Amino acid sequence: MAEKALTFFPGHPALVQLKERCKDSGISVAMEAMQPSLEVTQSVDMKVVEEIAEEAGIANPDDLLQEAIHHDHDEDAELSVEELQSAAEVVVAQQEIVREIEPDVPELPEPEPEPTVDIDALVEQATASIKDGNPKEALALLKPHLKTVGAQHAPAWRIAGGAMARMDLDNHAIAAMTHAQNLEPSHAPGWFNLGSVQQRSDLTREALSSYKRAIEADAEYVKAAEKMADLAKEKGLIESYMEAARILIGMDGSHAIRSDFIDMLLQLAQGESDVLDQVAGLPPTLPAGPEMAKEALDLIDPEASPERARALSLSLQHSDAVLMWKELIKLEQDSSDHWTGLARSLEQAGDLETAQKCHAKAASLANAEPEVLSTAATAPSESVEVNPTPLDPAIPEATVVGSLDAEVQSAQPSTSSPLLVESPAEQSAQASLLLTPIEPQQTSVESAPQPEVDLAKAALDAAQTVATNVPQSITSNAISNQDVTWFNQGVQLIDDKKYKEALSCFDRALPAFAGDDAMIIRILNNRGNAYYFLEEYPKCVESYHQAMLIRPTEVRGETLYNMGTAYAEMERYKDAIKCFEQAIPRGLADEAKRRAKDQIRRCNILQKALDKKRKKR
């Protein structure tokens, strides 16, 4: 330390003496750590010490006194003024050395207080920028403050999210808007905007949830309910659509969605009714169709209308449905649809005989009688031949979708033939009901009372009036040879690819077999085949369905297979798969089973392709 001091005060006697005194010391101690090691033994006047310390600029007189111990040169046990002044020079020099060695740390300026940010004003500016078409400018205004003063400010995050959405930064926009809604969940427009961005990003479930939250926040938010309904309908989410429709109707009873919602309720109720009637062996569950029909009734105007009559019937209010159809017929007597509706309601109510007459009336009004074949005008023979012509001419079998490529180049089913239930007469004795040939009966059969009309008679539908040229009554149990001829001729016409003429023959033969369930099943199945070849697939399915209703527990696999072919042509692959699956355990031959399994595989492929195509829309 003395050496450093001598650089500032060369030749200073006190420093030279100090250096000499300490030169043999091997210990280096920091000046700050040095502590007085000697007690002051010399007599000294403290007042003089304080005066000299003050003159020299020494703040602490004790520092001077500690140094003065070493300056008692005359060793007289007293510290004179000169000795104190000499010590003061050393203390001053030491303090100057310390100041030189210690870095001169500049005092840090006091931080200026940050200017107060008016986040609400910034939000207003950003909103104006977005309205002016400058989302980037709006985001630049808010972004620096989102994690500071705006961290808990919902409008700032909401407007920032809107700016991001307009810049097509959808992921960031969704995150910002979600944070804003978590801060302020009661802001309905915020949920709506969030749902719109999620919908644009194909986040369907999330978007529906956001629209629903918007409605919960504002029970009169019509626009949110409309968006929810449109999105659910587009994506085929029936439950969400129905929920949104109910909300909209609750907001506005005259909203345009009301009629669509009523139609959907009736379609769902009708579909459930058809399935329950068509498929046997379903587990016992409480049908939802009647409840949906009742809901539709509450929405339909009370005036008489076909729609309300259908709803009454589907809600199991058959008597009221019959009365309403009668009321409609009084207003419009020439409407075949009204007569058909009345017939079906009567069937549901159990009045099958009257229902049959109504079907006949509907058919006559709709000009549904097929054109009579010129070759079919011959008079019936008076007696039955001993060896009658078999009813089942050989008709080649073909599959419904056998020609489909394995790769499924398109979602269209093949147009090949159905598996016809009418097989050659040489079929084995083990053939089932639908494959068994039916012998024509002699005209001299003993008369018997007409049995009570059952489902077989109800299944005649609109074909009850086509027998005007046939010289026999449909109420008779006697079946003439001519009736059998009509059936055989229809089968042959299918083989000749004259399908409309075949339908005419079947319609002529059908009324004569009102009491013969087995024969009616055969006729209806052949009618279904004819409709298939005419590519009238809904009528084809309906005809097969009527055949199945007669004896639901005895439905053969061939009928279900044929119905599956028609469903496949209608691109209703799920229904087709169900029919093929149910056909396999119901008496199909091994080859037919193999084809049914192959059709299930192909329909699954087609259904996947169809689903994929719908998602891309």
- Helices 537-550 and 517-533 pack at an angle, to 10 degrees, of 170
Are 481 and 379 spatial neighbours (Cβ–Cβ below 8 Å)?
no
Compute CA 361 distance to the chain's CA centroid, rounded to the nearest angstrom: 45
Are 19 and 6 spatial neighbours (Cβ–Cβ below 8 Å)?
yes
pLDDT at position 19 is: 78
Summarize pLDDT for 65-117 with one digit per residue, the tens. 777 777 777 777 777 778 778 878 888 888 777 776 666 666 767 776 666 77
pLDDT at position 163 is: 92
| pLDDT at residue 431 greater than cutoff 50 | no
pLDDT at position 517 is: 83
d(CA 239, CA 268) in angstroms, rounded, equals 12
d(CA 454, CA 245) in angstroms, rounded, equals 41
* pLDDT, averaged across the chain: 74
pLDDT at position 35 is: 52
Summarize pLDDT for 558-615 with one digit per residue, the tens. 888 988 989 998 889 999 999 999 888 888 888 888 899 999 999 999 998 888 888 8
d(CA 203, CA 151) in angstroms, rounded, equals 26
Tokens of 132: 């002016």
Summarize pLDDT for 329-360 with one digit per residue, the tens. 988 888 888 888 888 888 877 788 888 888 88
Bridge partners, residue 43, by sequence: 78
pLDDT at position 278 is: 60
pLDDT at position 277 is: 64
Q: For residue 615, what are the CA distances in angstroms to 199, 226, 236, 609? A: 13, 21, 10, 10
The SS3 of residue 78 is strand
Q: Which residue has the higher pLDDT, 398 or 157?
A: 157
The SS3 of residue 43 is strand
Cβ within 8 Å of residue 59, ≥6 positions away: 53
Q: Which residue has the higher pLDDT, 120 or 42?
A: 120
Counting residues of the chain whose pLDDT is more than 70, the rounded percentage is 73
Cα end-to-end span (Å), the chain: 89
- Report the predicted TM-score, pTM, of the whole model to 2 decimal places: 0.44
25-39, 136-150, 306-320, 428-442: which has the minimum mean pLDDT? 428-442
Compute CA 187 distance to the chain's CA centroid, rounded to the nearest angstrom: 25
pLDDT at position 3 is: 75
Summarize pLDDT for 370-418 with one digit per residue, the tens. 433 333 333 333 322 323 323 233 223 333 322 223 223 333 344 344 5
Dmax over Cα atoms in the chain, in whole Å? 174
> Which single residue is written with the structure tokens 């991001």?
164
Q: How confident is the model at residue 211 (pLDDT cuts 50, 70, 90)?
A: very high
d(CA 508, CA 130) in angstroms, rounded, equals 75
Compute CA 472 distance to the chain's CA centroid, rounded to the nearest angstrom: 58
> Which single residue is written with the structure tokens 């020439």?
334
Q: Which residue has the higher pLDDT, 181 or 422?
A: 181
Q: How confident is the model at residue 440 (pLDDT cuts 50, 70, 90)?
A: very low
DSSP state of 410: S
DSSP state of 63: H
pLDDT at position 577 is: 92
Q: 565: part of which helix (H) or strand (E)?
A: helix 557-569
Taking phi over 0 as left and psi of -120 to 50 as alpha, with beta for the rest, 316 belongs to left
Q: How confident is the model at residue 38 (pLDDT cuts 50, 70, 90)?
A: low
| pLDDT at residue 33 greater than cutoff 70 | no
pLDDT at position 241 is: 93
Q: How confident is the model at residue 293 (pLDDT cuts 50, 70, 90)?
A: confident
Q: For residue 249, what are the CA distances in angstroms to 252, 303, 539? A: 5, 19, 36
Tokens of 431: 């053939």
Alpha-helix runs per DSSP H in 184-221 = 188-200, 204-217
d(CA 228, CA 239) in angstroms, rounded, equals 11
Summarize pLDDT for 263-285 with one digit per residue, the tens. 989 888 888 777 766 655 555 55
Are 562 and 438 spatial neighbours (Cβ–Cβ below 8 Å)?
no
Tokens of 204: 């369907």
| pLDDT at residue 475 greater than cutoff 50 | no
Average pLDDT over residues 297-308: 88
d(CA 469, CA 481) in angstroms, rounded, equals 15
Tokens of 476: 């008779």
pLDDT at position 317 is: 87
Average pLDDT over residues 308-314: 89
Q: What angle do CA 456, 268, 329 make, to 5 degrees?
A: 60
| pLDDT at residue 461 greater than cutoff 60 | no
d(CA 502, CA 519) in angstroms, rounded, equals 16
d(CA 324, CA 115) in angstroms, rounded, equals 78
d(CA 302, CA 39) in angstroms, rounded, equals 119
Domains delineated in the chain: 2-101 (no CATH), 305-365 (1.25.40.10), 384-616 (1.25.40.10)
- With 0-12 / 13-18 / 19 or more C-beta atoms within 10 angstroms meaning exposed / middle / buried, residue 469 is exposed
Q: What is the 3-state secondary structure (H, E, C) of 225-275?
A: HHHHHHHHHHHCCHHHHHHHHHHHHHHCCCCCHHHHHHHHHHHHHHHHHHH
pLDDT at position 180 is: 92
pLDDT at position 41 is: 59
- Give the residue from 438, 436, 456 showing the smallest Cα distance to 587: 436
The SS3 of residue 572 is coil
Q: Which residue has the higher pLDDT, 4 or 357?
A: 357
d(CA 440, CA 350) in angstroms, rounded, equals 31
d(CA 505, CA 423) in angstroms, rounded, equals 19
Average pLDDT over residues 498-518: 84
